[in-house]
Amino acid sequence: MASKKGGRGESLKALRAIVDWWVGGGCPDRKLRYFRDQPVTSPDITDAHLIVWHFEDWLKKYFFSILQLLEPLSLDPLAYIRTQTMSLIFTLLKEKPEQEQNLLRLLVNKLGDSDKSVASKASFHVLQLLVPHPSMKGVIIREMTSLVLKKQADHTHTHARYYGVITLNQFTLASGDKDIAAALISLYFQIFEDILGKGETETPVEDADEADQALRRPNARDKARQNERMKKKGIKGKVPSGGEVFAETEDSNAKLIAALITGIHRALPFAKTDTAIFDKHMSTLFRITHSAPFNISIQALVLIEKVSSANKVRYDSCVPKGKPQLTAFL
């Protein structure tokens, strides 16, 4: 019934009944196996084993077909349909491990939903999933990493990044979550570098002034792309100056940068005590202090001071030449 062409409401009713049956005993508390993965060559195998394994093979394929119905419904134009579908996905994830990776991908992708209420609900479901399954933190971080670091420059991607970061910020960390905290901090810095356009190579300390200036102006390739887009749209004029470009970036990324700094603050006490991860990215924080809005610059300076105090290390060498006033805060 769920697979028949018809009203989406009827499809949801049928899927809801299937999900209730599935979590109520239709599936064992383990991942199902295909027939080809069973020990069919064992000498102790009976016809009863073969019958059960054949049914399990069919059941696994049947459940995958249910996922193929849930995915398009999660992209439905109506926010209500998307929300209800997301609730079914969450129920399946919470109760049974079957198709865990695909279900988690569907749920995490809804953090980039165009409707803020749907994205907020997705964030809530992700956090609720960690209540019965706290060991899934690492899996969720890996799935979110693929979402927030996706090479896609549009409003939807920025939206997904923001909701992804504020969801990660709310992870409850414990003393045994050192690797999780380190992974979070590493991800936050990767997003920082992507926002600032740092690229793949590290910027030498002596070239920090040039890097700072590069933050304030679009490079030649960006200018060419912008000019090309403007010509296609029939817009006359030139590419905005570096200050104008940074002002636009400031408006779109200010909340995201603030959320990233908050996330680092929260994860720092639980991360490993070695300074390698901070030494690698400290220049990024210094670039933020003299390129971001004032309130975010202050947050970055507080974070630098916190890292320096925790590790008993001074990062004066990271301060660009001509910026001695920064060290006064440390």
Residue-wise pLDDT tens digits, 70-104: 999 999 999 999 999 999 999 999 999 999 999 99
pLDDT of residue 276: 64
Residue 4 in tokens: 């028949």
Q: If you search the block for the tokens 């999933």, which residue do you land on? A: 129
| Residue 58 scores a pLDDT above 90 | yes
Q: Is the pLDDT of residue 207 over 50?
A: no
Phi-psi region of 181 (alpha: psi -120 to 50; beta: other; left: phi over 0): alpha
Residue 104 lies inside a defined structural domain of this protein: yes
Structural domains of the chain, count: 1
Rounded to 10 degrees, the C-alpha dihedral 114/8/105/254 comes to: 10
- pLDDT-wise least confident of 92-96, 136-140, 292-296, 298-302: 292-296
* Within a domain: 203: no
Task: Report yes or no on 234 lying in a domain.
Answer: no
- State the DSSP string of 96-159: --TTHHHHHHHHHHGGG-SSHHHHHHHHHHHHHHTTT-GGGHHHHHHHHHHHHT-S--SHHHHH
Tell me the pLDDT tens digit for each residue of 113-167: 989 999 999 999 999 999 999 999 999 999 999 999 887 656 667 889 999 999 9
Q: Would you say residue 152 lies in a domain?
A: no
**pTM of model > 0.85:** no
Q: Which of 37-41, 47-51, 152-156, 181-185 has the lowest mean pLDDT?
A: 152-156
State which residues form the domain around 37.
1-134
Residue 97: inside a domain: yes
pLDDT tens-place string over residues 248-277:
445 557 888 889 989 988 998 888 755 666
pLDDT at 219 exceeding the cut of 50: no
- According to the model, what pLDDT value does residue 317 have? 47
The pLDDT > 90 percentage for the chain reads 46
- Answer yes or no: is 164 within a domain: no
What pLDDT was estimated at residue 324? Answer: 46
Q: Give me the pLDDT at residue 211, please.
A: 41
